[in-house]
A and B are shown apart, each in its own frame.
Chain A
Amino acid sequence: MSSYSVTEPSARQKWFAGILVVLYSVITLLPLLWIIATGFKSPADAISYPPKLVFQPTMEGYVNLFTTRTRVPEDQLKALGEPTTWYDKLVRKDGLIITGASRFAERFYNSVIIGFGSTVLCIVLGTTAAYAFSRFKVPLKDDLLFFILSTRMMPPIAVAIPIFLMFRSLGLSDTHAGMILLYTAVNLSLSVWLLKGFIDEIPIEYEEAALIDGYTRFQAFYKVVLPQAVTGIASTAIFCLIFAWNEYAFAVLLTSGNAQTAPPFIPTIIGVSGQDWPAVAAGATIFLVPVMVFTILLRKHLLRGITFGAVRK
């Protein structure tokens, strides 16, 4: 023991706290693990009672997620001969054949395009605005910053009607460009606030040195400030991406087919009788995995991101 401290918890306290937190984590994790497990169950296993913990894993849910299938008569099935691929084999045992691709891949692609598109735009606009707010005397600075934050208070449905009308007359409704612009506007408040915090922490002396060396302001910005702000920019980008990735209200209200992302699609996956839970779970799992990976990468900046930088860790 180096030094005695009254604030250091005793070993018993630590042990007790650890047990409780682990208990809570397990409860929290259960629904998530259930989603992932259900994706690998057969439809019968998914809806068996009592819920099955041990089951024969199958890729049926994933095959059903990506394909459309139809039932064909016995003789026609025989005429097709033996199934040649593993996914044909999975589907064939129920007397079904694969007739085409489902729209999941398309929706997932839309999520990627709109998510990344809006994130890039958000970072470009956010970084420049944050730099200006951080370094220059912008007139009405505090009011503008509050205005930017307040755009986050608007319920999406409250502005959906005029945006719907506006996009229709501009030819932006149900397009990738329209949704990218919309999601950029939604996430811009987060991006500006968060990046301003990160840029505030970069000492201004670096730029002053660069200016004295004959750089222009512009060069100082992208040659000196940007490289310093890379970690902040990366974590802001991931936050913008996650929010755009998970957004549902605008996607369901303002898009119908062409530019609809995955969140409105996954709940609509229907099987023979009601929802095809293994396929829904497979879709959810594919959709969750990137977010989970990002969360683990982000854990250091988590707090700042969700609170607009209002709380510093």
Chain B
Amino acid sequence: MLHSPIDRIAGATPPAIAARVKGLSDRAIAWLFVAPSIVLLLAINIFPLIWTIRLSFTNFRVNRPNEPIRFVGLRNYINILTDGDVWRSMQATAHFLIWTIILQVLIGFFLAYLINKKFRGNDLWTTIIVLPMMLSPAVVGNFWTFLYQPQIGLFNYVIAFLTGNDPSSFSMIASTTLAPWAIVIVDTWMWTPFVMLICLAGLRSIPSSIYEAAECDRASKWRQFWTITIPMVLPFLMLAVLFRGIENFKMFDLVVQLTGGGPGSITELTSINLKRAAFEQWRTGYASAYAVILFVTVFGLASIYVKALNRVKQR
């Protein structure tokens, strides 16, 4: 096709400019720029993961380096899946996950809805609401044990003041019925702002012309809310649930400091259970198998969820 003289000139231009562009080729720069990050992630994420998988088939113990490492096949996996404690900690995790997500989505969405009303000074209040999420979960968890003290804690005092109960009659972190709720409350306090921010982004992405059209059609406010607001915000909400789900599935620092898994093992989430096996009982092989199961679970659930999310987005 390039036969006319002008085409030939045009065709000749790129090499001339390329000659003036000194230094490395784009391809080399791309590799040079991407490689260090990939190498670091391979070294500190993937290599350890593969190592974990390998250890999960052995009876290795870190604190007994002189013992020969024996290959035990699937025994670690069978032991974990038939262990009642493991299932109890899965239940504790599920309880924690379900309630934190329900509460955070409801409160977070409602707050975003209110902030979207654009009252005066809402920027200031949004920044204040967001603060807890930026703090160190371990430090926050530790301090909440103080707020939860039955005799001297602020939380018990406020609840007692509002309900008229005796503040020393209940202890949030020492009671087996209340402890799971104690962690749900703190996590909700810390992370509702996160869901709120994402919902706010969702609400602000809805073009006002849609509401104007609905108004012309004389759709009621209630109808507009359910047929416009909710479906338009849904992908954002689902994204928030995904991020919170992954984070809370890994939850460790906050709960370790808040209840330490207690009383008994009522709030022993899987990551705390795993930490016990790995760093207190030093059953490295067993703990590795446990880690693999957790990773496969979170990765599997996240993948299924992302598929659902994409379907909602396409609608």
Contacts and interface: CB of A to CB of B under 8 A. Distances in A.
Given A34-B147, A248-B253, A299 B127 contact: yes
Among B23, B37, B125, B138, find the residue whose CB has the most chain A CB atoms closer than 10 A.
B37
Contacts of A192: 37
B271 interface: yes
B102 interface: no
The secondary structure that dominates the B interface is helix
B253 A249 contact: yes
Contacts of B271: 155, 157
B134 A7 contact: no
Main DSSP-derived SS at the A contact region: helix
B149 to A, nearest CB: 8
A247 to B, nearest CB: 8
Interface residues of A, number: 106
Given A34-B154, A161-B278, A216-B23, A153 B119 contact: no
A291 B34 contact: no
B151 interface: yes
Contacts, number: 296
Contacts of B189: 28, 31
Q: Which size bracket describes the interface of B in this complex? A: 35 or more
B130 interface: yes
Interface stretch (B46-54, B68-76, B78-86): B46-54
A160 to B, nearest CB: 7
B119 A17 contact: yes
A184 to B, nearest CB: 7
Interface stretch (A69-77, A80-88, A96-104, A305-313): A305-313
B51 A21 contact: no
B38 A17 contact: no
Interface stretch (B4-12, B171-179, B242-250): B242-250
A136 B131 contact: no
Given A13-B117, A163-B48, A306-B194, A155 B130 contact: no
Nearest to A126: B37
Interface string B278-295: 110000100110011011
B62 interface: yes
A312 B201 contact: yes
B88 interface: no
B215 A6 contact: yes
Interface in B253-282: 253, 256-257, 271, 274-275, 278-279
B294 A311 contact: no
A162 B55 contact: yes
A133 B302 CA distance: 24
B40 interface: yes
B45 A159 contact: yes
A34 B144 CA distance: 10
A221 B142 CA distance: 45
B204 A313 contact: yes
Contact of A35 (B111, B125, B143): B143
Nearest to B150: A49
Given A6-B215, A15-B119, A163 B40 contact: no
Nearest to B138: A248
A138 B30 contact: yes
A165 interface: yes
Interface string B12-56: 000001001111101101111110111011011111110110010
A48 interface: yes
A132 to B, nearest CB: 4
Nearest to B273: A157
A39 to B, nearest CB: 11
Given A28-B189, A158-B274, A185-B41, A6 B212 contact: yes
Given A20-B114, A306-B197, A288 B45 contact: no
B118 interface: yes
B120 to A, nearest CB: 7
B236 A311 contact: yes
A25 interface: yes
A218 B23 contact: yes
Contacts of A35: 143
Given A158-B291, A218-B24, A313-B204, A295 B142 contact: no
Contacts of B193: 28
A158 B294 contact: yes
A65 interface: no
A140 B272 CA distance: 37
A296 interface: yes
A181 B131 contact: no
Contacts of B275: 157, 253
B253 A153 contact: no
A38 B154 CA distance: 11
B310 interface: no
Interface in B79-128: 111, 114-115, 117-123, 125-128
Closest 7 CB pairs of A and B: A158-B291, A216-B23, A18-B119, A162-B48, A185-B44, A246-B136, A248-B253
